[in-house]
């Protein structure tokens, strides 16, 4: 078997990689009969020379590889027929913008496994960047806060930016961040955000105590809002029930209004799906008591639970403003009554060195053994495989029309 590590071809660019040089060497020792080939790239956080220095084969042409690993979606023009690709596909929810990619893979007889659906028997993801998204999202959000109010200027992350440097930079400005922060959700993204806030020595309060805070704060304080804090049954005589909400979210309404009036910086880290209540809608944005002026929409649901997230942003241009007068986008840090939005949808890429190393470790533990040892029928592998030789697998037959089959 020959395994290829392909260069990233999606725009905007992604600097991460599925395996670091050291991880490839470790896998080669573990599986001496398997060859690894790395496609040359001038954008990768790990330079080509770092792979070559360890004796790893480099090439431009990957057509003799059996399985090809990337991070983000491969450009359609680069797809090689009849190969097995593994990357984040963003197709299983029938995302319109990736329908051409899905149909191209099917037409070319490609097998495709999606990192997002490598899950265990409890449906817990085995290969995910969520925690890192929360970490970087906090950094970018405080960078926006410092620029908006002229308090400090955190540097833009470069290609070799690390978690250690990120934490040091935030620790240096923490004393200038006297504000109220609301973190939504309890998953990995939220946990990453909370990790950074704790490192900044922020004071955590219960939602009830948070709502009793005065408007002005000398210290950095935050609260974490669970789903039960964010929504409630439209029938006030009923109590919150997670299973009921999942079954029929239309019977629930947002309970976010009180927090919008006691928050300066909102970190959106929750899961949201269409049909669920909108937390920050036009009515609430126009509320004169709504105090939020910086939003870090880390999960980046476009026009989803937060109306002011009108588009995603990039690492090169991470911020834009949303006018509370016109209810429309305007340039970042505009004059007037605006909310500054951070909506970078590939936050972990800012820590490409650390996140590549972490991701490669999870792949080496959970994914590569299944593929190399030929255990394609393993439940973990089966759950993640959307296409087999261009045909939808049984689990994903609901994509038939979307895939053009």
Distances (CA, A) of 386 to 171, 254, 381, 391: 43, 35, 10, 8
Quote the pLDDT of residue 292: 97
pLDDT tens digit sequence for 76-107: 999 999 999 999 999 998 998 899 999 999 99
Quote the pLDDT of residue 171: 96
Quote the pLDDT of residue 183: 98
Tokens of 139: 């950094």
pLDDT tens digit sequence for 265-277: 999 999 998 899 9
Using the predicted structure, report yes or no on whether residue 63 has a pLDDT greater than 90.
yes
Predicted confidence band of residue 13 (pLDDT cuts 50, 70, 90): confident
Contact 37, 62 (CB under 8 A): yes
Predicted confidence band of residue 7 (pLDDT cuts 50, 70, 90): very high
Quote the pLDDT of residue 243: 93
Q: What's the CA dihedral at 295, 301, 307, 308 to 10 degrees? A: 40
DSSP readout, 353-404?
Answer: HHHHHHHHHHHHHHTHHHHHTT-TTSHHHHHHEEEETTEE-GGGGGGTTTTT
- Alpha carbon distance 366, 18 (integer Å): 13
pLDDT tens digit sequence for 245-255: 999 999 999 99
Question: How remote is the C-alpha of 129 from its chain's centroid?
Answer: 6
Quote the pLDDT of residue 216: 75
Quote the pLDDT of residue 318: 97
Using the predicted structure, report yes or no on whether residue 69 has a pLDDT greater than 80.
yes
Mean of pLDDT values over 294-309: 94
Q: Which residue has the higher pLDDT, 287 or 237?
A: 287
Quote the pLDDT of residue 214: 81
Contact 80, 67 (CB under 8 A): no
pLDDT tens digit sequence for 172-190: 999 999 999 999 999 999 9
Q: What's the CA dihedral at 163, 168, 174, 175 to 10 degrees? A: 180
Using the predicted structure, report yes or no on whether residue 123 has a pLDDT greater than 80.
yes
Average pLDDT, the chain: 95
DSSP 8-state secondary structure symbol assigned to residue 316: S
Mean of pLDDT values over 110-131: 94
Contact 12, 346 (CB under 8 A): yes
pLDDT > 70 fraction of the chain, expressed in percent and rounded = 100
Quote the pLDDT of residue 297: 97
pLDDT > 90 fraction of the chain, expressed in percent and rounded = 93
Residue at token pair 């220095």: 53
Using the predicted structure, report yes or no on whether residue 215 has a pLDDT greater than 90.
no
pLDDT tens digit sequence for 359-378: 999 999 999 999 999 998 99
- Sign of the torsion formed by the C-alpha atoms of 396, 398, 403 and 405: positive
Quote the pLDDT of residue 405: 85
pLDDT tens digit sequence for 147-163: 999 999 999 999 889 99
């Amino acid at each position: 078997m020959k395994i290829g590590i392909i260069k990233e071809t999606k725009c905007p660019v992604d600097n991460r990689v599925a395996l670091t040089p050291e991880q490839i060497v470790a896998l080669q020792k573990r599986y001496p009969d398997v060859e690894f080939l790395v496609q040359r790239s001038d954008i990768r956080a790990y330079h080509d020379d770092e792979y070559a220095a360890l004796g790893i084969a480099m090439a431009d042409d990957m057509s003799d590889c059996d399985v090809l690993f990337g991070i983000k979606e491969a450009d359609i023009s680069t797809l090689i027929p009849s190969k097995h690709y593994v990357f984040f596909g963003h197709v299983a929810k029938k995302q319109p913008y990736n329908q051409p990619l899905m149909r191209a893979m099917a037409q070319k007889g490609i097998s495709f496994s999606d990192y997002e659906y490598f899950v265990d028997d409890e449906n817990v993801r085995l290969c995910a960047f969520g925690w890192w998204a929360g970490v970087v999202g906090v950094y970018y959000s405080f960078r926006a806060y410092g620029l908006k109010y002229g308090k400090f200027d955190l540097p833009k992350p470069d290609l070799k930016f690390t978690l250690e440097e990120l934490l040091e930079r935030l620790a240096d400005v923490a004393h200038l961040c006297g504000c109220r922060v609301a973190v939504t959700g309890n998953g990995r993204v939220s946990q990453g955000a909370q990790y950074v806030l704790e490192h900044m020595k922020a004071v955590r309060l219960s939602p009830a105590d948070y709502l009793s805070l005065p408007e002005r704060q000398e210290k950095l304080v935050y609260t974490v809002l669970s789903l039960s804090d964010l929504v409630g049954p439209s029938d006030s005589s009923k109590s919150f029930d997670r299973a009921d909400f999942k079954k029929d979210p239309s019977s629930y309404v947002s309970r976010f209004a009180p927090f919008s009036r006691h928050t300066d910086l909102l970190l959106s880290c929750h899961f949201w799906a269409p049909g669920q209540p909108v937390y920050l809608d036009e009515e609430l944005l126009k509320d004169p008591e709504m105090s939020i002026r910086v939003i870090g929409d880390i999960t980046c649901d476009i026009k989803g639970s937060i109306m002011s997230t009108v588009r995603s942003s990039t690492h090169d241009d991470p911020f834009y403003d949303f006018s509370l007068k016109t209810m429309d986008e305007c340039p970042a840090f505009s004059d007037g009554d605006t909310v500054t939005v951070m909506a970078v949808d590939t936050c972990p890429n800012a820590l490409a060195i650390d996140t590549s190393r972490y991701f490669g470790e999870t792949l080496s533990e959970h994914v590569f053994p299944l593929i190399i040892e030929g255990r394609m029928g393993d439940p973990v592998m089966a759950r993640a495989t959307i296409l087999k030789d261009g045909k939808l697998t049984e689990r994903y037959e609901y994509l038939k029309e979307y895939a053009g089959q």
